[in-house]
Structure 1
Amino acid sequence: MSIQDRLIALGITLPPVAVPAASYLPFMRTGNLVFLSGHIAKKDGHVWVGQLGKTMSTAEGQEAARAVAIDLMGTLQAAAGGLDKVVRIVKVMSLVNSSPDFTEHHLVTNGCSELIAQVFGETGRHARSAFGVAQIPLGACVEIELIAEVA
């Protein structure tokens, strides 16, 4: 099954590349690597605001991370000239807006990692870091960046 077929089967339509909210590029390609800038969680077209462990549950955080994965794939599609040109998802780094006592950042980030693995198969299995932070721009609950190898 092709990547596009998997997206269709999952009912996913990839969005266009979002316009940056500050002075940076949404992605940078150097050689065969593409670095995607941090993408913040959005719900219904608006920043998904919240703090894990305070105003959001782990399950809601997973949904937010899954939404970020969809945005990341939209940007990666544009950066690579198609998702079929992705050789490997190399690494995902996740920042989770969380209360000081929240300890399930890794579970929140699974929302992103699991969807990427579903869409890309073995190519989508990646290295990863997940951090809890005091705040994310615009009050977003999750921000994730991604590195991919492309053909």
Structure 2
Amino acid sequence: MGKFEQKLAAMGVTLPEAPAPAANYVPYVVVGDMVYVSGQISKDDSGLIIGKLGDDMDTAAGAEAAKVCAINLLAQVKAACGGDLDRLVRVVKLGGFVNSTPDFLEQPQVINGASDFIGDALGDAGKHARAAVSAASLPFGVAVEIEGVFQIK
């Protein structure tokens, strides 16, 4: 087990198998030393985390859903690296989409659930650029979807 997975284990997190795509696309594309990971939805072992922020889900629950997306992103990066997450050099950018009502204004705080988790798990390698935007709806009614760009060696 490499250093990143040891840190995750110390945080009580074991990466799942990389989720399969839900439509006609690939879960990630490797170009040179960059990995572009398709949007990962808020889905864990219990199933889909559904909800609309500003309606039936609060910001804290949305942040937890974003953390789940981040775990799924790291699972995809691990798969892209042939099972060796320590090939990860850094997280370059995350793009976060929050299923929210038109008057909900805390998209950044929701996506902080992913950013904070990645920062805690990866240290300096986890420092990234980011977008956090509202979406009128997301696939399957999930609360959050996050895509990412990662540099590997």
Range into which the TM-score falls when normalised by the shorter chain? over 0.9
**What SS is found at the alignment partner of 1:39?**
strand
Moved more, 127-136 or 42-51: 42-51
Partner of 2:75: 74
Give unmatched runs, 5+ long, in structure 1.
none
- Of 137, 141, 144, 2:143 maps to 141
Q: Distance in 1 between matches of 2:44 and 2:6?
A: 24
What CA RMSD, in Å, does the superposition of the two structures yield over aligned residues?
1.1
Identity of aligned residues (%): 43
SS for the counterpart of 2:131 is strand
Pairwise CA distance, 1:44? 3.8
Counterpart for residue 96 of structure 2: 94
In the TM superposition, what are the counterparts of 1:1-150 in structure 2 within 5 Å?
2-81=3-82, 82-150=84-152
> SS where residue 103 of structure 2 aligns?
coil
With the length of structure 2 as denominator, give the TM-score of the two structures. Answer: 0.95
Partners in 2 of 1:4 and 1:42 — Cα distance?
A: 20
* 8 Å CA contact 1:34, 1:148 repeated in 2: yes
Q: C-alpha separation between the residues in 2 aligned to 1:44 and 1:28?
A: 25
The alpha-carbon deviation at position 33 of structure 1 amounts to: 0.4
Q: Which moved more, 1:4-13 or 1:124-133?
A: 4-13
Question: Separation in 2 of the partners of 1:26 and 1:4?
Answer: 21
Q: Are the counterparts in 2 of residues 34 and 80 from structure 1 also a CA contact under 8 Å?
A: no
Q: Which runs of 5+ in 2 are unaligned?
A: none
What is the TM-score normalised by the length of structure 1?
A: 0.97
